[in-house]
Amino acid sequence: MSVTVANSRFITSSLRAAFYQQLVAVSDFHKLGKWLVAECEKAQALRQTERLKESSLILSGIPIQEYQIIGQFYEAYTSVGQNPHTLLENVVEKSKSYKSKALIALATLELGAGNCDSGINFCIEAIRRSHNVSTIVQAARSIAVIKSAEGLNRSALKDLEAIAPLAQYASPIARYQYLNSLAVEYGEIGRVEEASDICKVLLASPFAFAYPEWRETSDETALMGYKSRSAVSVIQPVRENVFKLPVAESSSNSIQEESAKVFSLLEWKKKMGKEPNGDNTEANQDLNKMSEKELLLEIIQLASQNGVGEHELRDILDHARKVIYGPKKS
């Protein structure tokens, strides 16, 4: 299909004239795809729904499979009458560069359906498959938000504080969203002054107009500070940590390929459906084949399972200390 034919198909779009002129000026499908991906990222970051809908629709029509799949990813945010699960699962199965983003989006949908364990598993898989700092921060933040939704605020805060060094290298939106979650968790445990300081940074951001939840976090934090100064004995929690389909992160214009390994979402779901038990012989046999990153993620996943309470966490920590600080194996 020639560029001329492709451009003629775009004429019916409701894009603004200036936007269309910029689009038809592109003479190469790869350049067009890169430009449209950037447009989708900006539109999603600024929550411009119509612009995102138009850009993703055109992106889905480019005769290059990866760009078509990325277009489907953004369509999941704007489609009416179509199940976003279907679009996102197709992205996970077929995309080279958007698997992790789609997994995080699926985690969001799982949380909305009340499936917290499944949501955490999707986020862990996203971390496992991503080499992008912003995506990793976004997935780790999502795990913290899920914990917060279950009332595990101190555990959520520990997770957020642990990725603070990484967050400073994330894209602006990913970093600001991280800071908002951090402010929420500080407010939840009564560290109002620290939450207030973070809110000042958020409201000074050029993106603040598109994220009213940042203002809500600030207002609730200010209210908590007033009640604290008024000697109110019980601190009211701040607004529930906002968890929505993730915003796009800034990236290079080129499509960055992730692992070339074929990934089957269906097989992965079956694997995740097997609850750990006392007789996990198959898993134990695979320990020697796991990489250092896989071992760490497995530990995080086990500690995040429902039913793992303070007693079990103390046992895990006690055993870990004995292994790390005890006599070294030859």
First-to-final CA distance of the chain: 64
Tokens, residue 315: 């046992």
For 171-193, write each residue's pLDDT tens digit: 999 999 999 999 999 999 999 99
Report the pLDDT averaged over residues 100-121: 89
Indicate whether 224 pLDDT > 90: no
Q: Of 262, 284, 313, which residue constitutes the final position of a domain?
A: 262
Are 253 and 297 found together in one domain? Answer: no
In a domain, 9, yes or no: yes
Q: Which residue has the tokens 């969203």?
A: 177
C-alpha 139/C-alpha 70 separation (Å) is: 19
Q: Is 90 inside any structural domain? A: no
- 160 is written with which tokens? 């957020």
DSSP assignment string, 139-159: HHHHHHHHHHHTT-HHHHHHH
39 and 110 together in one domain:
no
Number of domains, the chain = 3
Which residue range forms the structural domain that includes residue 8? 1-82
Residues 197, 256: one domain? yes
- 122-133: per-residue pLDDT in tens? 999 999 988 899
In a domain, 88, yes or no: no
- CATH classification of the domain holding 178: 1.25.40.10
Q: Tens of pLDDT along 42-88?
A: 999 999 988 999 889 889 888 899 999 999 999 988 875 578 888 99
Q: Give residue 313's pLDDT.
A: 67
- 57 and 134 in a single domain? The answer is no
Please check whether residues 61 and 168 belong to one and the same domain: no
The CA-CA-CA angle for residues 170, 175, 181, to 5°, reads 140
For residue 330 the two structure tokens come to 């030859």
What is the model's pTM?
0.67
Q: Which two tokens stand for residue 206?
A: 């050029």
Q: Which residue has the higher pLDDT, 147 or 294?
A: 147
Residues 156 and 127 in one domain: yes
Per DSSP, 233 falls in state S
Helices and strands of the chain, counted as H and E runs: 18, 0
